[in-house]
Amino acid sequence: MDRIRIVGGNELNGSIPISGAKNAALPLMIASLLTDGTLSLDNVPHLADVEQLTRILGNHGVDYSVNGRREAQGSAYARTMNFTARNIVDTTAPYELVSKMRASFWVIGPLVARMGQARVSLPGGCAIGTRPVDLFIDGLRALGAEIDIDVGYVDARAPKGLIGNRYVFPKVSVGATHVLMMAATLAKGETVLENAAREPEVVNLAECLNAMGAKVSGAGTPTIVIDGVAALSGATHPVIPDRIETGTYAMAVAMTGGDVILEGARADLLEAALEAIEQAGTEVIRLDNGIRVRRKGGVIRPVDITTAPFPGFPTDLQAQFMGLMTRAQGRSHITETIFENRFMHVQELARLGARITLAGQTAIVDGVERLRGAPVMATDLRASVSLVIGGLAAEGETIVNRIYHLDRGFERLEEKLSGCGAIVERLSE
């Protein structure tokens, strides 16, 4: 299995192109199930999760091509991918496929809306705590679907179609917002979703649905209103830049020092995280087509953060910020409120010499003067990249094992970092 070798101590200087967002691309790809037309998505990142979802959609009968042809090996950044679900050949999403990636459960919404039935395995995904699907089930029931849970599968049926309704999410959920919004586009009448997720990926999906002929308004606010239509058509739509990748590299620069332009990044997608980085002593300059991050000298200051749904500090940047705080001058508190088990990186950061104590949902981080390289391994995507951030500032060699997690969400990480002067290489076996 591939590993990443890092020799820490170098500043980062130069520029890093920001890829399309994984968490925007996945629901957009799933939206292709809603129409028999072709959905062309621009700026799709080359990531293991995108490939996996392509296989899952293929199982339902979705045909795909890249830039107008079938994909060759080693394709470039910023692909245009075309998805066509002319005929849905299978409305079952089997365990073998869904267990590899939680987001694939989301096919349940478009399938039941367009085909009147779906049988989808309960999901798997990252080891970041139990992630139930009660909100999806309650919400689809509110739209008139009959749902049974049968030996590990969710069976949803609406033979006469879904019916618009008002649904109040008892808890903010990105995935359940995506699914109900997609399902409601083909329901009869009006659907009102209250306490909806406001994440930029929800807005990106709503804009795509509207380009396909849906009538969605209010995405980006807690209340989304969807007027159902009889059918959707194909469209062309861009994937937004990845705010988590942006924040990750900004934190890497804050950690090592240096001066880097994050090309194509959009500051409005991650203001809470950028403010935390500024408070930690790094300059953040918002440019027209990117963000410049600079720390020349000075110290890393301790900053307390608490994760929250958008526009709060994203849980997907919590591990990376903890990586940064391990070298702050003083004590910081990092509180995780979205997932109950998202501190798997703590023990591994400790292997690099970090001093972190856990107190319930809060990690107390006492900054240390130096980290030392070590072999480490992580159990989820964002945890893995926090170890890369640690390794960039550690003395000597850090080997990050099990990097298939990184390949799920970071496109060409080693190339992007080594292009800015870091010593980072992939060791293939």
Within 13 Å and on the Cβ side, how many CA atoms surround 414? Answer: 17
Q: Nearest distance from residue 372's CB to ligand EPZ, in Å?
A: 27
For ligand EPZ, the closer of residues 101 and 162 by Cβ is 101
Give the strand pairing for 375-377 and 397-401.
parallel
Q: Nearest distance from residue 72's CB to ligand EPZ, in Å?
A: 27
Q: Rounded to an integer, what distance in angstroms lies between the CA atom of residue 166 and that of residue 156?
A: 19
Q: Nearest distance from residue 326's CB to ligand EPZ, in Å?
A: 20
For ligand EPZ, the closer of residues 164 and 175 by Cβ is 175
Residue whose Cβ sits closest to ligand EPZ: 175
What residue type is 169 in one-letter code?
F
For ligand EPZ, the closer of residues 49 and 259 by Cβ is 49
Q: Nearest distance from residue 36's CB to ligand EPZ, in Å?
A: 25
For ligand EPZ, the closer of residues 154 and 187 by Cβ is 154
Q: Nearest distance from residue 123's CB to ligand EPZ, in Å?
A: 8
Q: Nearest distance from residue 420's CB to ligand EPZ, in Å?
A: 23
For ligand EPZ, the closer of residues 100 and 382 by Cβ is 382
Radius of gyration of the chain (CA): 21
Q: What is the dihedral of CA 248, 254, 257, 262, to 10 degrees?
A: 50
Q: Nearest distance from residue 378's CB to ligand EPZ, in Å?
A: 12
Q: Nearest distance from residue 385's CB to ligand EPZ, in Å?
A: 10
For ligand EPZ, the closer of residues 121 and 315 by Cβ is 315
Q: Rounded to an integer, what distance in angstroms lies between the CA atom of residue 208 and that of residue 41?
A: 9
Q: For binding to ligand EPZ (CB under 6 A), which residues are involved? A: 23, 26, 102-103, 126, 131-136, 171, 173-176, 315-316, 338-339, 381-382, 409
User: Which residues, at least 6 apart from 325, have a Cβ–Cβ distance to it below 8 Å?
Assistant: 280, 300, 302, 303, 332, 334, 365, 367
For ligand EPZ, the closer of residues 238 and 247 by Cβ is 247
Q: How far is CA 46 from CA 71, 96, 165, 294, 325, in A?
A: 11, 22, 37, 28, 30
For ligand EPZ, the closer of residues 259 and 336 by Cβ is 336
Q: Rounded to an integer, what distance in angstroms lies between the CA atom of residue 219 and that of residue 312?
A: 17
Selecting among 97, 126, 133, 422, the annotated active-site residue is: 126
> 126 an active-site residue?
yes
Kindly list the catalytic residues.
126
